[in-house]
Structure 1
Amino acid sequence: MVTNTFLNLETKDVTLSRSFFTHIGFSINEQYSDESGICVVINDTTYLMVMNKDKFRGFTLSETPNSFNQTEIIISFQLNSKAAVDTLLDKVKAAKGGEFGQATENDFMYYRSFRDLDGHRFEVFFFKPLP
């Protein structure tokens, strides 16, 4: 049984990534962070490991795509309200991240999508209560 989830991403600048993720509301687990990478705490069991090129490639043993031109993954976070989705996107824009696509609302969910400073794609959404 999986007890924790660690998602791993490459960054060009660990310091800028630290600023970006803390600005949009996440904390950093310093126990697993140093100048080569940071451990972004998503929740009690999910973490985003953001590493510089050398550290990341030590795990992958391969080249990585340019995230602005290619998509390797979309990381999605469920939030507890439509307002929380909008608030997070406001923080992303203030931290120099970019929104892509348009806010979308349908019968069961509301979502918006953004890119971090390295072009990695994220989606934040709110599931509407069932009638």
Structure 2
Amino acid sequence: MATNIFVNLPVRNLDASKAFFGALGFTFNAQFTDETAAAMVIDENIFSMLLTHEKFAQFTSKTIADAHTSSEVLIALSRDSKEAVIALFDKAIAAGATEARPGDDYRFMMSRAFSDLDGHIWEIMWMDPSFVQPS
């Protein structure tokens, strides 16, 4: 069985978050989505569970960080081309995200970063596969 990754993120407004990520082209698995959580499909084995604060609090006794003022995680997603990075970044901005920091372009690698509606930082990146040396 393949290993899956589930990134659990607290969100203040689940419907707004679903609309935001839907505008970026992500889909949701209805089997694991209800009024407290949405299972966002990022890739075949990568998911983000968008959880209301009440639902998220069921899994931790720690205070939920305000990602607008604190850094809790940087979520990096790769894309197949520079153009795909720019396209996803532009969709995010159009859907209400803010630029998290200026983009980087090293020719062999580039990235753009945005903060989603709850302040979580998503770094979208591309790296030229011919640059990666075999180990």
TM-score w.r.t. length of structure 2:
0.92
Percent identity for Structure 1 against Structure 2? 34
- The answer to whether the aligner puts 1:77 opposite 2:77 as a matched pair is yes
Q: CA deviation at 1:2?
A: 6.1
| Count of aligned positions | 131
Stretches of structure 1 that go unaligned for 5 or more consecutive residues are none
Counterpart CA distance in 1 for 2:90 and 2:41 is 20
Report the 3-state secondary structure (helix = DSSP H, G, I; strand = E; otherwise coil) of the residue aligned with 1:130: helix
Alignment partner, residue 22 of structure 2 = 22
Describe the SS at the equivalent of 1:54.
Answer: helix
Report the Cα distance in structure 2 between the residues aligned to 1:107 and 1:117, rounded to whole angstroms. Answer: 30
In 2, the alpha carbon distance for the partners of 1:2 and 1:105 equals: 33
For structure 2, list consecutive stretches of 5 or more residues without a partner in the other structure.
Answer: none
Deviation at 1:130, TM superposition (A): 2.1
Partner in structure 2 of residue 90 of structure 1: 90
**TM-score normalized with structure 1 length:** 0.95
Distance of 2:15 and 2:6 partners within structure 1: 20
The alignment yields a C-alpha RMSD, in angstroms, of: 1.3
- The one-letter amino acid paired with 1:38 is A
Deviation sequence 1:29-76 (CA, Å, 0-9, x none): 111000101010010101000000110010112211110111100000
> Which residue of the partner structure matches residue 102 of structure 1?
102
